[in-house]
Structure 1
């Protein structure tokens, strides 16, 4: 995102707000992945890039690559192009992902009913169990939506979302193949909360991007004043959280991707 913004003529400033730690109960996650390897699930839903990192870390502790956790008969669903790209770089095939509404709601809309064997959500083999490894703060939208369509959904905490910085002993540090292929980190200034608030007080920040509902909550708690800047939401769930917090977004990205974010910021600053 920082590289795309810089290329478009913006000055990206990074402010770490949230971080990620391994799930506190690794035994529960490990047991769910054992059931996955045994073919007890028809679908695996990976709804975030951080989930990929958490699962890759578990695979590494077992001395295997991420694809070894997923047997050939299991289908994989995800939320959008960024997570699809990351999964494919790790060697996993994505069978279902929304192209339009890239959110949990968009994925549920695509998903067939459990008795519709062979369709988008049917596995054709009578396995109607779905595994969703996720954040400890994940909304129930996806699980409840698939449950309403007749699927047997099991959620398991794959990682914990925490305030930045994470505990060094529990922090997720496993790198992703997609990041390694990119070859370089985007060059951008990293601010502290105090520095960001000084910039806000001076009215020198034109926009703040909220990249997740968790980040939206931290923005509400940490950054002040927000009246002189525009808030940009990466997607509908983040926009809804900003609205709930009383700091509505000026605009929402049409797609949760670097290009979508650049477009949203450009539209907000230059209507």
Structure 2
């Protein structure tokens, strides 16, 4: 297998920060074009959050974990659930205890299925633009759900140079629906020929915004996203 399968390929990342996605794409040989399209704005006081009325706290991202983790440390009776392993690691670090429920697949629907049956009181900490799948699914399973906005996603306007570089890349990646919406708002519906979404929810949001998604990662993780980019570009000359 080629050790640098993305050599001479330009791949756009759209997350709010450089991180594992950028580094893994670069390790695979890609010329990574980082064009952040969203900014994360905290919306909770964190330590002042009263979790005593709840049996569970559920988070869907590291940002959500950061928002409620210290409050969870002050409420040791509350059980913890997270959508993925890295989100769970961040929540466990701040709360000072293990996260009981982490689904094998990193989607809201799988998190719902991994939770034990209700009734119980659940606080869901998520973004202001969050998909309703998690809250609706927990309610159907008998949970009394209160959703709080842990952070807000604000569209960032890229520079003219960033827009040009993004549109002339070989592929673009979206790790969230808000980034896809930010692309359309800031750049439009034009895109590179290969458009890769981290999962079906992100793909659905991107499609609704007018983007043509060409590939969806089967493994809804950063590693899965990188593997899908490699597969997609390996079929292009």
- With normalisation by structure 1, the TM-score equals 0.71
Structure (1 or 2) with the greater strand fraction:
2
Q: Does 1:261 align with 2:194?
A: no
SS in 2 for 1:12: strand
- With normalisation by structure 2, the TM-score equals 0.81
Q: Which residue of 2 aligns with 1:46?
A: 59
> What does residue range 154-233 of structure 1 map to in structure 2 within 5 Å?
154-164=146-156, 192-200=158-166, 203=168, 205-224=169-188, 226-233=190-197
Extract unaligned runs of 5+ from structure 1: 60-65, 116-127, 166-191
Q: Is the 8 A contact 1:130 1:154 kept in 2?
A: yes
SS in 2 for 1:41: coil
Shift in Å at residue 213 of structure 1? 0.5
Higher relative contact order (CA 8 A, sep 6+): 1
Q: Does 1:108 align with 2:112?
A: yes
Q: Which residue of 2 aligns with 1:246?
A: 210
Extract unaligned runs of 5+ from structure 2: 1-20
- Relative to structure 1, is the Cα distance of residues 132 and 247 closer, same or farther in structure 2, using a 3 angstrom cutoff? same
Q: Which residue of 2 aligns with 1:98?
A: 103
Q: Which residue of 1 aligns with 2:132?
A: 140
Shift in Å at residue 225 of structure 1? 6.7
SS in 2 for 1:254: coil
Q: Is the 8 A contact 1:208 1:230 kept in 2?
A: yes
The whole-number CA distance in structure 2 between the counterparts of 1:134 and 1:227 is 28
Q: Which residue of 2 aligns with 1:87?
A: 91
CA deviations 1:69-100 (Å, max 9, x no partner) are 331x2211111122123223433411111113
Query: Of the two, which has the highest radius of gyration?
Result: 1
Output the aligned Cα RMSD. 2.3
Q: Is the 8 A contact 1:4 1:262 kept in 2?
A: yes
The whole-number CA distance in structure 1 between the counterparts of 2:161 and 2:141 is 48
CA deviations 1:119-144 (Å, max 9, x no partner) are xxxxxxxxx10111221211221111
The whole-number CA distance in structure 1 between the counterparts of 2:127 and 2:226 is 27
Q: Does 1:3 align with 2:18?
A: no
The whole-number CA distance in structure 1 between the counterparts of 2:189 and 2:131 is 28
The whole-number CA distance in structure 1 between the counterparts of 2:155 and 2:172 is 18
